[in-house]
Structure 1
Amino acid sequence: MKKALILIPLLFILFCSCDTLNQVAQTTIQQYGKPTNLEINNGLKQALELGTNKSSDQLSSINGFFGNAAVKILFPPEAQKVEKTLRSIGLSKLADNVILSLNRAAEDAAGKAKPIFVNAIKQMTLTDVTNILLGNQDAATQYFKRTTTAQLAASFKPVIQNSLNKVGATKYYTDAANAYNKVPFVSKVNPDITDYVTQKAIDGLFVEIAQEELNIRQNLGARTTPLLQKVFSYYDKNKR
């Protein structure tokens, strides 16, 4: 009974929100008319460039990764036993240094993603744009995953390696792994951390991009130009 009472107002809010979006969509379309193919193309690309730039900027700032629980980089799963052992033998500071350094390296590299996303946006066809606009709420994020992951990995890896060296992450993790490997009767772990941080940095970007995509699809305040309002009102009216 209590669950039902909680669910009712939540459903009311959801339906009201949908009604509001539909009402605004109807009004906007009446005011500006149906967007042309060119406007849909330009509007969506404008939204995607704003969203990817914002995601990159947020993650490349100090604590962009370290202060964000959704993307914070921890010890690799296979090395969490390393962290546990280090902390149990009085080396918590070393473990903390590893985690901070991995995140600082990812923050240092995140800004390098901008030109890759800009290029992917430029390569979009009108079919891509329409499918993204009227597709699932993460359609743009999935498009970027398909078209940029390989290039991001190739471009990020050397940057991540340099960043790891610059902030001392390689040394900290190597020290941590070597300290762990000296503990009697433990299985040895690989002290190379570059590939892991590269992949986690890419994953973090897509988490942020998905949030930005959802924001502009659901939040009227995120549509900051008349073109965005016109195009996404068309989305609100025609979404599946």
Structure 2
Amino acid sequence: MDRRFLIAALISAGWTTQASAQGDLSKIVKAVTASKGGLTNAQADSGLREALSLGAAAAVSRVGKTDGYWGDSLIQIPLPNTLAKVQKTLKPLGLSSALDEVHLRVNRAAETAAPVAKSLFIDAIKSLTVQDAVGIIKGGSTAGTQYLQKSTTPRLITLFTPPVQTALEQTGAVQSLDKAIKRNGLGNYIQKDPKVYLSDFAVGKALDGLFYYVGQEETAIRTNPAKRTSAILKAVFG
């Protein structure tokens, strides 16, 4: 078992001090293995990676399908604020159809693009170090999700943007926004190219929704025995 991992984990649990941990490592090893039925550092590491992998895969599957975003009130992507205000004003008059269409198609674009996140999550989980693992173990119920969010967001934005832009075009969102701009005189409010304007907003909101469900899955695995579907998960989180 890794010496630094043991010392940090036991100190965080309040079992020992830095000095006694370093001075009596054999007792610490016995305490750890006894408390977890002989669980080794390698098994703990494996269990943590499995939990994060399962949580990430479940989240991607959940949002990366028809109505994954649109049909979920918790993560449905709204229109950008300027467009949302106009949509709200026009809806009672029966004149919001163009913006309603943009709203739907932005969510469809995010659903189409979501699966690209899976491989990046897997790469990030594979690159976990002992120090990362200690931080996650010491952290709260979504510490692993926070690690993934911090380590993958810049690359996810880069990876997400092209498929979101493509999806926005293929689903007709850009064309619908062009129509809404012309119909409702919104040209003065939207200075960017409609595709860039929509994709920048949609990517940010899509990632927020994705990480929300990664966090929900991680919390469930940590707290709900029914979610621990393998022996290693039961050993680590039981």
Q: Which TM-score band applies after superposition, normalised by the shorter structure?
A: 0.7 to 0.9
User: In the alignment, which residue of structure 1 is the partner of 2:29?
Assistant: none
User: In the alignment, which residue of structure 1 is the partner of 2:184?
Assistant: 180
Q: State which of 34, 40, 47 in structure 1 corresponds to 2:44.
A: 40
Give yes or no for the alignment of 1:219 onto 2:224. yes
- 2:69 aligned counterpart, secondary structure: coil
CA contact 1:86–1:180 (8 Å) conserved in 2: no
C-alpha distance in structure 2 between counterparts of 1:40 and 1:200, whole Å: 33
Give the letter aligned to residue 97 of structure 2: K
| Higher relative contact order (Cα pairs below 8 Å, separated by 6+ residues) | 1
User: In the alignment, which residue of structure 2 is the partner of 1:18?
Assistant: none
User: In the alignment, which residue of structure 1 is the partner of 2:9?
Assistant: none
User: In the alignment, which residue of structure 1 is the partner of 2:207?
Assistant: 202
Give the letter aligned to residue 190 of structure 2: V
Output one character per residue of 1:152-196: Cα deviation in whole Å (capped at 9) or x when no partner.
0000001100010111111112222332226xxx95234431100
Give yes or no for the alignment of 1:76 onto 2:77. no
C-alpha distance in structure 1 between counterparts of 2:162 and 2:168, whole Å: 10
C-alpha distance in structure 2 between counterparts of 1:81 and 1:225, whole Å: 48
Deviates more, 1:36-45 or 1:132-141: 132-141
* Normalised TM-score (structure 2): 0.79
Give yes or no for the alignment of 1:189 onto 2:194. no
User: In the alignment, which residue of structure 1 is the partner of 2:237?
Assistant: 232
User: In the alignment, which residue of structure 2 is the partner of 1:139?
Assistant: 143
C-alpha distance in structure 1 between counterparts of 2:145 and 2:206, whole Å: 15
C-alpha distance in structure 2 between counterparts of 1:85 and 1:174, whole Å: 19
Q: State which of 152, 160, 173 in structure 2 corresponds to 1:156.
A: 160
CA contact 1:116–1:148 (8 Å) conserved in 2: yes
- 1:193 aligned counterpart, secondary structure: helix
C-alpha distance in structure 2 between counterparts of 1:55 and 1:73, whole Å: 16
C-alpha distance in structure 2 between counterparts of 1:86 and 1:171, whole Å: 19
C-alpha distance in structure 1 between counterparts of 2:99 and 2:115, whole Å: 26
User: In the alignment, which residue of structure 1 is the partner of 2:175?
Assistant: 171
CA contact 1:85–1:180 (8 Å) conserved in 2: no
Identity %: 37
CA contact 1:181–1:189 (8 Å) conserved in 2: no
Give the letter aligned to residue 154 of structure 1: T
Measured after TM superposition, the shift of residue 89 of structure 1 is 4.5
After superposition, the CA RMSD in angstroms is 1.9
Measured after TM superposition, the shift of residue 31 of structure 1 is 9.8
* Normalised TM-score (structure 1): 0.78
Listed as ranges, the gaps of 5+ residues in structure 1 are 1-28, 234-240
Output one character per residue of 1:66-91: Cα deviation in whole Å (capped at 9) or x when no partner.
11111101111232222123325432
C-alpha distance in structure 2 between counterparts of 1:179 and 1:110, whole Å: 31
Spell out structure 1 runs of 4+ moving beyond 3 A.
29-32
CA contact 2:83–2:99 (8 Å) conserved in 1: no
- Aligned pairs (5 A) from 1:54-93: 54-93=58-97
Give yes or no for the alignment of 1:111 onto 2:111. no
User: In the alignment, which residue of structure 2 is the partner of 1:20?
Assistant: none
C-alpha distance in structure 1 between counterparts of 2:140 and 2:160, whole Å: 28
User: In the alignment, which residue of structure 2 is the partner of 1:52?
Assistant: 56
